């Protein structure tokens, strides 16, 4: 499959995009800026109501912009109606036209562009081949499975060589197994077509598996933009850390001058910190080491004494639930090879290398309000609103 047939990547520049619905005080999308590079696979990740879908709909042209700009390549499309934006779109519930066959569905965008009949036939066949559905052209959508319908929707969205492909939770309606098959399909199409993809999802695993970069949305703004590794290993905010995977969270104070972090009487070394302000220190469960004997703890490690609550065997790992001295809970993932039996009630030393921790900002609403909740009408915005992280 040649990349020219189905279009090529176009840069999408979103600047200071804001959407305020009439009669509401807090904007649904508040001053969002992000640039998607040509050919990049960008994911908008966030809980429902975080503004990711509204942002996508503004890019597609279904939702009017209150203020801000959207530029595709060199063209400002902010005021353009959806049918003149040349963006392919895949919807959550497929949105296949039930009164047209698969072929007619795929031919639809070409007909709108007055493509000659012979070329329509050729490109529909190519698009069907691309999604491995060549046998199904004459069928009606209702005669296809959910996964097949979604593949038809993909073919229809790319057949007219759009400037970019927008996908709105396209795999949300599918069961787990089918979802992973279609994730492979989406990744393969991205690789083969070289198109710019903007993918909206609330599923963090899906985002990590597919994306070149992820923009994490919360409460109408972007918390952080970065590669999956950056977001996971160097989260900029508590929200990002807790939305992507689990963390042990220690709410304390940062002493920048001494590069130290104070928590409940412990002082830990903090050689680098993402935030200037008092915040939270985070350690991923798999970075936590558990030792019964304090002598076994490496000298450079930060650490504390914790009590074991339970030990769950998960096949490749043990998940050990912990209670911190201040009563809060945490966990550690211990590889089976390194595991030994921890009994509930055991006192152990939990420790980690300082480079495995992150110190992040905590929103003004205070700790505990953050994870996942972030209602639309909610809290003051987190530290950095318009993040344009390094690529």
Partner 1 sequence: MPPRPARRHVPRVLLFLPALALLAVAFGLPLLQIVLRSFTDPDVGLTNYTAMLDDGITTTVILRTLRVAVTVVVLALLLAYPYAYVMSIASPAGRAVLTTLVLLPFWTSLMARNFAWLLLMQDGGPIQRFFSLFGLDVVLLGTTVGVTVAMTQVLLPFMVLPLYSSMQQIDRRLLQAAQSLGAKPRTAFRKIYLPLSAPGVVAGCTLVFILSLGFYITPALLGSSQQSLVAQLLAIRTTALLDFAGAGALGTVLLVITGLVLAVIGRFARPASSLAAATGGVK
Residues of this chain that interact with partner 1 (CB under 8 A) are 60-62, 81-89, 91, 93, 95-99, 108-109, 112-113, 156-157, 160, 166
Sign of CA dihedral 239, 243, 249, 254: negative
- Residue 285 pairs in a beta bridge with none
Structure tokens at 375: 């209602």
Which residue number, 160 or 261, has a Cβ lying nearer to partner 1? 160
- Residue carrying structure tokens 């399909």: 185
Q: How far is the CB of 141 from partner 1 (least distance, A)?
A: 11
Q: What residues contact 40, with CB distance under 8 A and at least 6 apart?
A: 9, 196, 197, 212, 213
Q: What is the nearest approach in angstroms of partner 1 to the Cβ of residue 42?
A: 18
Nearer to partner 1, 166 or 281 (CB): 166
Give the total residue count for the chain: 391
Question: What is the smallest separation between the CB atom of 50 and partner 1, expressed in angstroms?
Answer: 20
Nearer to partner 1, 153 or 322 (CB): 153
CB 31 within 8 A of CB 385: yes
What are the Cα distances from residue 252, in Å, to 84, 350, 382, 384? Answer: 52, 17, 18, 20
How far apart are the C-alpha atoms of 229 and 238, rounded to whole Å?
A: 16
Nearest to 202 by CA among 224, 234, 170: 170
Nearer to partner 1, 133 or 370 (CB): 133
Pick between residue 82 and residue 371 the one whose CB is nearest to partner 1: 82
Q: CB of 117: closest distance to partner 1 in angstroms?
A: 17
Min CB(64)–partner 1 separation in Å: 14
Element (H, E) at 52: helix 52-60
* Nearer CB in complex with partner 1: 44/342: 44
Q: Rounded to the nearest whole angstrom, what is the least distance from the CB of residue 157 to partner 1 in the complex? A: 7
């Amino acid at each position: 499959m040649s990349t020219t047939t189905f279009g090529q990547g176009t840069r999408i520049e979103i600047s200071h995009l804001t959407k305020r619905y009439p009669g509401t005080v807090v904007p649904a999308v508040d001053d969002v800026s992000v640039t998607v590079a040509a050919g990049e696979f960008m994911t908008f990740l966030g809980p429902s109501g975080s503004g990711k879908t509204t942002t996508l709909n503004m890019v597609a042209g279904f939702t009017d912009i209150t203020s801000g700009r959207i530029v595709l390549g060199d063209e400002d499309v902010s005021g353009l109606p959806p049918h003149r934006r040349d963006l392919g779109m895949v919807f959550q519930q497929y949105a296949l036209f039930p009164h047209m066959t698969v072929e007619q569905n795929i031919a639809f965008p070409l007909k709108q562009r007055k493509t000659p009949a012979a070329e329509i036939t050729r490109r529909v066949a190519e698009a069907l081949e691309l999604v491995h559905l060549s046998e199904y052209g004459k069928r009606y959508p209702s005669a296809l499975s959910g996964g097949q319908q979604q593949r038809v929707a993909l073919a229809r969205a790319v057949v007219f060589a759009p400037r970019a492909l927008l996908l709105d939770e396209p795999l949300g309606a599918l069961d787990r197994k089918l979802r992973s098959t279609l994730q492979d399909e989406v990744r393969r199409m991205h690789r083969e077509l070289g198109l710019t993809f903007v993918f909206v999802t609330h599923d963090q695993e899906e985002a990590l598996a597919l994306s070149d970069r992820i923009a994490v949305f919360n409460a109408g703004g972007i918390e952080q933009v970065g590669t999956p590794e950056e977001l996971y290993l160097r989260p900029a905010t508590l929200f990002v850390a807790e939305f992507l995977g689990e963390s042990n969270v220690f709410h304390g104070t940062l002493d920048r001058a001494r590069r130290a972090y104070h928590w409940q009487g412990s002082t830990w070394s903090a050689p680098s910190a993402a935030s200037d302000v008092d915040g939270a220190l985070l350690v991923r469960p798999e970075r936590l080491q558990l030792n019964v004997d304090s002598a076994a703890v490496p000298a450079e490690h930060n650490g504390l004494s914790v009590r074991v609550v339970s030990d769950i065997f998960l096949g490749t790992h043990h998940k050990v639930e912990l209670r911190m001295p201040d009563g809060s809970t945490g966990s550690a993932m211990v590889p089976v090879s390194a595991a030994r039996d921890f009994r509930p009630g055991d006192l152990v030393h939990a420790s980690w290398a300082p480079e495995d921790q992150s110190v992040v900002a905590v929103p003004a609403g205070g700790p505990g309000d953050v994870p996942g909740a972030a209602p639309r009408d909610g809290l003051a915005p987190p530290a950095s609103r318009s993040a344009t992280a390094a690529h």
